[in-house]
C-alpha cells in the first residue's frame, strides 16, 4: 500500500461551508481533493457560538473545530469596534490567540503525528511555530492579506497600527515557512516585492473549480434551456459573490450599468445581496440572495453573460472559474481576471461605458468558441483534483 502523507492544517476557514462561495468553497474543495491522496487533520478556529468537536468530512479529512472562548469573542468585538471594521475574526488571532487555549492544545496533539504542516493564511502561524519546529511548514495564501486588509480597513491610526501588524506577521510567515503558495502570479510578485520572499520559496496554487460537478452548458444547449423556460427573449446578466467590500463595489457599478441596458435583466446572487436589500434598485435588476447549488447551476445555465467588474481586493476571483466551467460568457475587468492566463477566454471591459456598449450589442451566438476555449482552459489548469495533486507533489 502506498504511503499516505499526514498533514496538519491550521485555518480560520472551515472545510464545511453552507454558502458555496469564495474562500470557503476553495478551502472545502482543495482539502476534499487532497484527502484522496493524504490524511489531513484540519484545525479550524471558529466563532464562539460554534460547537467544538472532531468530525470526519470525507475519508482522509478530519476537521477539528475549536470555538473561540467567550473572553476571546468579547475582546474581538472590542477590537472590531476600535478598528471600525466589518469583522475582526481573523485579525484578533494576531494578538489574542492565547485567549483560546484549545488552539494550542489541539495543535500539540496533531503536530507530533504529522509529516507536514500547512498554515492556511497566516493568522495562526505564531501558534504553529511554537510547536512545529523541525517540521516542513507550508503557507497557503488566498490573498496578500496586507493588501486585502488595506482595501477594507478605514484610514485611522488604530487601523493603520493593525495594518502594520498584518504586514510584519505576514512577512514573518513568508520568511519562516519553507514554501508560500499564493493563488495568482500577481500575488506571487507582491510577496516577492513586499517581503523579499525568495522566488524559489514561492509557487502559485490557483483557486479552482470542480469540473465534474459544474458541467459545461454550450451556447446551443443554453438557448434550448432558455426556450424551455420561456426565457428565449430575455438577455440575462448575473453576478455572484459574498458580502466583502470588493464585491459590494462591483455591484454598485452594476447598479449603474443596468439602467443603461434596458433590454437586459440583471440578477445579483449570494450574500452580497444583503447589502442592497434596502436600496432603491433599477427596475431591471433583481436580488436572488443566497441560493441552493441546484438553483445556482440553473441560473448559470440560462445566463447570457456574467459581469465581473472587480477593481479592488487580492487573490484569485473564484467566480471566474465557476462561470467559465459552466460556459457562461464573462465580461470582466483585467483586475477581475487576475490569475486567468488566456485573455481570449473572457470579454475585457475596463469601464462602465464599454460594458454598457458590449451588453447592448450582445449576441450569445457570438461566443461559442470563446466559452469552449474557457472550459478547456478551466479543465486543464483549474480542476481541483489536478491542483491538489500538483500541490502535494511540491510539498512532500
Instruction: Give residue 29's pLDDT.
Output: 92
User: Per-residue pLDDT tens for 69-126?
Assistant: 999 999 999 999 999 887 889 999 999 999 999 999 999 999 999 999 999 999 999 9
58 by DSSP, 3-state: which?
A: strand
Do residues 176 and 227 both lie within one domain?
no
Asked if the structure places residue 375 within a domain, the reply is yes
Does residue 149 register a pLDDT over 80?
Answer: yes
Q: What is the CATH number of the domain that holds 304?
A: 3.40.50.2000
Residue 346: helix, strand or coil by DSSP? coil
244 in the same domain as 181: no
Domain count, the chain: 2
pLDDT at residue 151, rounded to an integer: 86
**Which structural domain range is residue 60 located in?**
6-205
Where residue 242 falls among pLDDT bands split at 50, 70, 90? Answer: confident
* Average pLDDT of every residue of the chain: 94
Q: Per the domain annotation, does 280 fall within a domain?
A: yes
pLDDT at 230 > cutoff 60: yes
Which residues, at least 6 apart from 222, have a Cβ–Cβ distance to it below 8 Å? 301, 302, 304, 327, 364
Average pLDDT of span 114-142: 93
Cα of first residue to Cα of last residue in the chain, in angstroms, is 18
Interval 287-302: pLDDT, tens: 999 999 999 999 999 9
93 is a domain residue? yes
Q: Report the half-sphere exposure of 205 (CA within 13 A, side-chain side).
A: 29
Amino acid at each position: 500500500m502506498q504511503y499516505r502523507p499526514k498533514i496538519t492544517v491550521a485555518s480560520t476557514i472551515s472545510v464545511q461551508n453552507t454558502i458555496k462561495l469564495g474562500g470557503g468553497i476553495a478551502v472545502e474543495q482543495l482539502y476534499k481533493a487532497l484527502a484522496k491522496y493524504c490524511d489531513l487533520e484540519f484545525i479550524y478556529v471558529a466563532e464562539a457560538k460554534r460547537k467544538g468537536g472532531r468530525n470526519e468530512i470525507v475519508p482522509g479529512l478530519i476537521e477539528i473545530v475549536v470555538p473561540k472562548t467567550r473572553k476571546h469573542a468579547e475582546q474581538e468585538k472590542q477590537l472590531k469596534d476600535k478598528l471600525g471594521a466589518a469583522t475582526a475574526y481573523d485579525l484578533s488571532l494576531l494578538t489574542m490567540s492565547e485567549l483560546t487555549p484549545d488552539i494550542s492544545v489541539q495543535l500539540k496533539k496533531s503536530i507530533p503525528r504529522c509529516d507536514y504542516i500547512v498554515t492556511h493564511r497566516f493568522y495562526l502561524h505564531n501558534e504553529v511555530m511554537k510547536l512545529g519546529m523541525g517540521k516542513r511548514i507550508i503557507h497557503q495564501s488566498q490573498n496578500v492579506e496586507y493588501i486585502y486588509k488595506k482595501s477594507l480597513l478605514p484610514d485611522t491610526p488604530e487601523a493603520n497600527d493593525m495594518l502594520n501588524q498584518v504586514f510584519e506577521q505576514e512577512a514573518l510567515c513568508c520568511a519562516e515557512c519553507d514554501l508560500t503558495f499564493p493563488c495568482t502570479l500577481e500575488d506571487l510578485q507582491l510577496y516577492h516585492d513586499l517581503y523579499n520572499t525568495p522566488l524559489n520559496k514561492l509557487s502559485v496554487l490557483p483557486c479552482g473549480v470542480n469540473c465534474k460537478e459544474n458541467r459545461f452548458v454550450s451556447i446551443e444547449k443554453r438557448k434550448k434551456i432558455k426556450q424551455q423556460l420561456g426565457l428565449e427573449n430575455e438577455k440575462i446578466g448575473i453576478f455572484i459573490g459574498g458580502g466583502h467590500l470588493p464585491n459590494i463595489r462591483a455591484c454598485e457599478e452594476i447598479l449603474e450599468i443596468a439602467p443603461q441596458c434596458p433590454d437586459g435583466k440583471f440578477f445579483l446572487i449570494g450574500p452580497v445581496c444583503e447589502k442592497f436589500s434596502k436600496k432603491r434598485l433599477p427596475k431591471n435588476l433583481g436580488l436572488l440572495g443566497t441560493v441552493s447549488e441546484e438553483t445556482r447551476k440553473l441560473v448559470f445555465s440560462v445566463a447570457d453573460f456574467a459581469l465581473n467588474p472587480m477593481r479592488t481586493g487580492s487573490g484569485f476571483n473564484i467566480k471566474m472559474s465557476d462561470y467559465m466551467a459552466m460556459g457562461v460568457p464573462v465580461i470582466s475587468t483585467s483586475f477581475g481576471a487576475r490569475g486567468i492566463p488566456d485573455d481570449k477566454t473572457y470579454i475585457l471591459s475596463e469601464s462602465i461605458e464599454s460594458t454598457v456598449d458590449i451588453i447592448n450589442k450582445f449576441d450569445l451566438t457570438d461566443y461559442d468558441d470563446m466559452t469552449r476555449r474557457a472550459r478547456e482552459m478551466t479543465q486543464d489548469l483549474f480542476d481541483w483534483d489536478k491542483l491538489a495533486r500538483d500541490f502535494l507533489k511540491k510539498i512532500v
